[in-house]
Amino acid sequence: MAECNQEQLAKDCPCTYPNCPRKGKCCECIAYHLKMGEFPGCCFTPEGEKTWDRSWEALKKYHI
């Protein structure tokens, strides 16, 4: 399996949450948000991501 380039992933990550501990760690981010019943910010448009609302309703409204 290929190694993740976390430095590049962090640069490309659309998350705007300040000091997010999962920025660039996609597997951790996805697992965290699914465990919380949410969707990660990368599933949203830039406008939707900035709301920090990770609900199904927000996903339907702001899906990429």
Using the 8-state DSSP alphabet, how is residue 50 labeled?
Answer: T
- The set of residues, in sequence order, having a beta carbon less than 8 Å from that of 9 and lying 6+ positions away, is 24, 25, 26
pLDDT in tens, 2-42: 677 888 888 899 999 989 999 989 999 999 999 999 999 99
Q: Do residues 15 and 49 lie in contact, with contact meaning Cβ atoms separated by under 8 Å?
A: yes
Note the pLDDT of residue 57: 94
> pLDDT at position 3, please?
74
Q: What pLDDT, on the 0 to 100 scale, is given for residue 4?
A: 79
| pLDDT of res. 35 | 97
For range 36-58, the mean pLDDT = 94
